[in-house]
Chain A
């Protein structure tokens, strides 16, 4: 069965410093992996996705993530944090039943705080 673990519930960085949000997954099949961001009182917005093409995936707002099969990881990074990046971030794996659609499995989320 597929699952996803976000290793940190809360990450705090200073503006202009790098961001690293960690995610590990388990999957019986080739997974599709996503990162979503949720700003306060808003819905979830897709940041980026991995669907078995390039292992380094670039998303919106300068974020990127690298799929590492050997480590079963899909960490989210950004070289320089901006105040507007403060939000909650969700790592998501698609529960893919060997070709059928399945459903999305969400991690518990990582709240990112950015200090001036």
Chain B
């Protein structure tokens, strides 16, 4: 285990469903990230949170809604997804600011999402 825990590991949902992905870290990090990993495409940064505040939204459709109630937890709420949203969703955390440069990010194992 890396210290970043993602649940569930696998999720199958219909296009009309509402579900949430959860990410939790107890590394003392204050920056958290959502990435999308699709087959044959580079990792795509979706959202960045620093000290619970969203600092970046990388033009993500509104059917993805992040929530960061505290520095240890990050959620990704999903609703009315499309089949092309099927992917591995990775959560990461890091020290904020220059700490990310020095130590990099710690990733969770991801949630494999299939939209049917």
Give A contacts to B, CB under 8 Å. Answer: 32, 34, 36, 41-46, 49, 51, 90, 92, 94, 96, 99-104, 106-109
Contact of B112 with A41 in the complex, beta carbons under 8 Å: yes
- Cα distance, A115 to B45, chains bound together (Å): 33
Give B contacts to A, CB under 8 Å. Answer: 2, 4, 6, 31, 33, 41-43, 45, 48, 50, 56, 90, 92, 96-98, 100-110, 112
Contact of A106 with B100 in the complex, beta carbons under 8 Å: no
- Cα distance, A69 to B50, chains bound together (Å): 31
Q: Does more than half of chain B's interface fall in helix, strand or loop, or is it mixed?
A: mixed
Q: What are the residues of chain B within 8 A of A100 when measuring CB–CB?
A: 97
- Cα distance, A104 to B48, chains bound together (Å): 11
- Cα distance, A76 to B52, chains bound together (Å): 35
Contact of B42 with A107 in the complex, beta carbons under 8 Å: yes
A43 touches which of B31, B48, B108 (Cβ 8 Å): B108
Contact of B107 with A44 in the complex, beta carbons under 8 Å: yes
Q: What are the residues of chain A within 8 A of B4 when measuring CB–CB?
A: 43
A42 touches which of B41, B42, B105, B109 (Cβ 8 Å): B109
Closest 8 CB pairs of A and B: A43-B107, A106-B43, A44-B107, A43-B109, A32-B101, A101-B97, A108-B42, A46-B104
Contact of A43 with B90 in the complex, beta carbons under 8 Å: yes
Contact of A51 with B102 in the complex, beta carbons under 8 Å: yes
B2 touches which of A43, A94, A107, A109 (Cβ 8 Å): A43
User: What is the chain A residue whose CB lies nearest that of B109?
Assistant: A43
